[in-house]
Structure 1
Amino acid sequence: MANPVQFINQVRAEAAKIVWPTRREVVTTTIMVLILAALFSVVFSLVDLVIRLGITEGLRLISV
């Protein structure tokens, strides 16, 4: 177990290794996430619509 001073020094050394993304990288990845979220929401909505119509028609045919 390291003493508190060594621990703080190790934390500072590790924190110095952190590489923060640039503003351009953050904006680019944010836009990509938003576009993909919108795309997946459309795809899942269409899948839901197809499943709902299939079940509705299947039940309608069974009840006739």
Structure 2
Amino acid sequence: MAKLNPGKFAREVRAEANKVVWPTARETMTTTIMVLIMTTILAIFFLGVDSLFGAIVQWLLSLAS
């Protein structure tokens, strides 16, 4: 493996960092809102699934006693 000069490495890192395209404020806000909506939907879904499984387990345990 060839050794890389630290100066050349720093220049290459800077060149790659200059290629990064940062999102606009509007894109960031839109993405944030979508993440919050999806997180809320999934939280409600998993609450329902957990409640259903909890009720099934309680029912099964009531049969055992």
Moved over 2 A (4+): none
CA RMSD of aligned residues (A): 1.0
The equivalent position to 2:17 in structure 1, one of 1, 15, 18, is 15
The yes-or-no answer on 1:44 pairing with 2:46 is yes
Give me the TM-score of the superposition, normalised by structure 2: 0.86
**Runs (5+) with no aligned partner, structure 1:** none
**Runs (5+) with no aligned partner, structure 2:** none
Deviation at 1:56, TM superposition (A): 0.7
Percent of aligned pairs sharing the same letter: 46
Work out the number of aligned pairs and report it. Answer: 63
Give me the TM-score of the superposition, normalised by structure 1: 0.87
**Deviations along 1:4-50, whole A, 9 cap, x unmatched?**
22112111111110100111111011001111111111000011111
